[in-house]
Structure 1
């Protein structure tokens, strides 16, 4: 499924399309003709002087060292990005349940586009790390159609569980994170700024660590904060179990 939406208020063109995954090796080169359709839409937008935001569920690139898209689909998609780099403003995806980004470059190694992978409200529960629910406020410039900034709101699950187990049901646990540009020290939200950020990861561990923290929305991973506190406090297994169930104070 893929379709186009024109917004009336300030009229960027939103292309929403289904990804071309790599689950089967016998897929055609252009499943459902969606890449051809995308080229037609981008060509029309370029001709009409419109800007485009691309949206989909599964992002191009890799997820935990596995392909999201088959290489031949990714290559065709990158060709479209290079051709319509002045028309495509940004890309938005989901699926990873983490706050990630990918920078795309042209043949001269110049940054041309950024895909933003949004965390979403569904927490991630893998083997090593988790994530907290997040919703994102996106700021645009209505005159230039440029992307201006993000503001993320995080629900800290471990903190909420810990406090709720002790009778605190009144707090609003949603927390606003700093603006994206402030937190990651970005000049703006252009591809060149994100290329600069990625380059800084080479020798700026503090910046890299902050980016990783935002990936998981400051989750403690699979660590149960209550259980951890109880295990620290009590040696007796039964007391630890009672404490973890909320029947004993861990302090």
Structure 2
């Protein structure tokens, strides 16, 4: 593979960034697996950027590829997702779930066309989760025999930290401090914490009564961002990257042939 790469004690493997490569680089590459970061452009409180979910998804995707023992193609990020729940906060962008599913699916199908038949969708936004699971299923069920796609949401893969995932809270703030510290407005952290919510939604009888985040958080924050130091970001990135590297190996090795219909014809 001609673009990207790193050195270490184990053999040299490469990560090719599709945006930086030429078509001849891709033609000559050995990669048969790709990662596609998927995020959102939405409010993350007064202290974190609208692009938080894109920045974190890209960082985890890159770190996971670097830890992988595979030659991996890293596709450009998809920056707008299913985020209408944040519509009351200026700058938030969103598309319908159907539009999002179609766009992601067709983007991945273009990789399939070029022989990249295994794809991991590295997700950084909770609102995308259900749609991406459906996209992965459709791509796998409807594609050729060898094609396979699966979503990976980084904040579900960080062990006990996952229970503290809010919105613009400790996990996202910590990871931002690790990968893009200049984007965190440190002087706004106290205000972000004081006007935020402790948990996501308004729950009664196991049902969430709220559809939009503005119904339960004044400034868009859920969780205390002050509990997200850089050291925690180091740990989050390591956990997420290691989990992604394991997933890339499993996806690359998976038998993607479709199971036979159960029962068969009676004799």
- TM-score class normalised by the smaller sequence: 0.3 to 0.5
Greater per-residue strand proportion: 1
TM-score, with normalisation over the residues of structure 1? Answer: 0.32
Greater per-residue helix proportion: 2
TM-score, with normalisation over the residues of structure 2? Answer: 0.31
Larger Rg: 1
